[in-house]
Amino acid sequence: MRTPLAEELGLEFPIFALTHCRDVVVEVCRAGGMGVFGVAAHSAGGLEAELRWIEERIGDRPYGVDLLLPTKFAGSDRGGFDASQLDALIPETHRKFLDDLLSQHGVPPLPEGAAVGDAFSVGLDSQRDVIEMLFEHPISLIASALGPPPGWMIETGRSKGVKVAALAGTVEHARRHAEAGADIVVAQGYEAGGHTGTVSTMVLVPEVVDAIDPIPVLAAGGIGNGRQLTASLALGAQGVWCGSVWLTTEEAETHPVVKEKFLAAGSSDTVRSRSLTGKPARQLRSAWTDAWEDAANPDPLPMPLQPRLTREYQARINRTAHNNEGARQLANYFVGQIVGSMNHVKSVRSVMEEFAVEYADTMERLDGFTPE
């Protein structure tokens, strides 16, 4: 399974794991793939400690980082808004809708002083310090989602020998990333968990491979086993980039109630919804997504207003979902259609081994189709 890109990066397997859990990064790296740490959910302060924790455990194995660099967001035409301006832009109707939704479900308020998590930050100016800090670490790859990597990020990557990757949901995105100078494009199809477009992986991957040749492409969206990995290489990708499949592993810090829901869910149980981030993102369907889909209720706000609005309500749901039925019904998280095949808790290492074994079996089966 050695592709030129995997060779270049020193990987045993061309499997890239996007995760927000440091343990998953470490286990994927130890098993011969590349763990890519999503920094979007982490505060700048805590991030350095997380990176050091990872580095102490993987030795000189390569790892990567990923961040959201959206081109379009509320106020993007004027460089964004500051925190107080953002809060003032959240309509009272939206707060009232969520107050009512949670009280109808019997979800109690947060205790005084309870943590609600960091505010989601967008805009290159506010993220430049974080990116510069990331480059001070021994990363092998840095990926940008929701927009092309800026020129200075590509130049810094070149000078430090760090590959710069960018996620694309259409062939036009992929061309834009190639023109910006990205070293790798992740072609991510509709099936994917998290922010996703409307073109399926099966159609998008060969389209992107042809459009930006010879820039290497990773296939993403709906890939959770060795047959899907083999298919991705057949489509012209040099590896796979997976997000959902790690969420039900032993090492993942997925909320226990959500993990249980993922294990029981079928492949039709996800929706693309703007209800968590303000941009369409695939997630488990729940009473939360149903309420936001209802035409009688307000529409989600643009990024970053929607995550700013919802974080306290999400904290209330997550804090009580283990013993409150209403909160359990509302609880959800990002996941792709592959959730239908995520039916058992496994270690990260066994997921990696199953990828490799099924790849070998599939290649052998395909070989058998060719006459002597």
Ligand X SMILES: Cc1cc2nc3c(=O)[nH]c(=O)nc-3n(C[C@H](O)[C@H](O)[C@H](O)COP(=O)(O)O)c2cc1C
Chain residues in the site for ligand X (CB under 6 A): 18, 38, 40, 66, 68, 143, 145, 167, 188, 191-194, 220-223, 241-245, 247, 334-336, 338
- CA 267 from chain center: how many Å? 18
**269: which DSSP letter?**
S
CB of 118 to ligand X, least distance (A): 14
Q: Which is nearer to ligand X, 97 or 219 (CB)?
A: 219
Q: Which is nearer to ligand X, 148 or 194 (CB)?
A: 194
CB of 109 to ligand X, least distance (A): 27
Q: Which is nearer to ligand X, 245 or 291 (CB)?
A: 245
H or E element at residue 23: helix 22-30
CA distances (Å), origin 237, targets 25, 36, 180, 198:
22, 18, 20, 19
Pull the structure tokens for residue 220: 């993403």
d(CA 103, CA 307): 20
Q: Which is nearer to ligand X, 246 or 292 (CB)?
A: 246
CB of 36 to ligand X, least distance (A): 8
CB of 188 to ligand X, least distance (A): 4
Pull the structure tokens for residue 21: 């859990």
Pull the structure tokens for residue 307: 């995550």
CB of 67 to ligand X, least distance (A): 7
CB of 180 to ligand X, least distance (A): 16
* DSSP string over 140-167: SEEEEESSPPPHHHHHHHHHHT-EEEEE
- Which residue pairs, CB below 8 angstroms and at least 24 apart, start in 214-217? 215/178, 215/182, 215/183, 215/184, 215/185, 216/3, 216/4, 216/5, 216/183, 216/184, 216/185, 217/174, 217/184, 217/185, 217/186, 217/187
CB of 258 to ligand X, least distance (A): 10
CB of 281 to ligand X, least distance (A): 8
Q: Which is nearer to ligand X, 38 or 157 (CB)?
A: 38
Q: Which is nearer to ligand X, 94 or 321 (CB)?
A: 321
The CA angle 297-301-307, to the nearest 5 degrees, is: 110
Pull the structure tokens for residue 333: 């998280």
Q: Which is nearer to ligand X, 85 or 347 (CB)?
A: 347
Q: Which is nearer to ligand X, 14 or 326 (CB)?
A: 14
Owner of token pair 């792709």: 336
Q: Which is nearer to ligand X, 242 or 348 (CB)?
A: 242
CB of 41 to ligand X, least distance (A): 7
d(CA 80, CA 76): 5
Residue type, 353: E
d(CA 24, CA 28): 6
Closest CA to 232 of 12, 4, 15: 15
Q: In the bound complex, which residue of the shown chain has the CB atom lying closest to ligand X?
A: 243
CB of 218 to ligand X, least distance (A): 9
Q: Which is nearer to ligand X, 156 or 248 (CB)?
A: 248
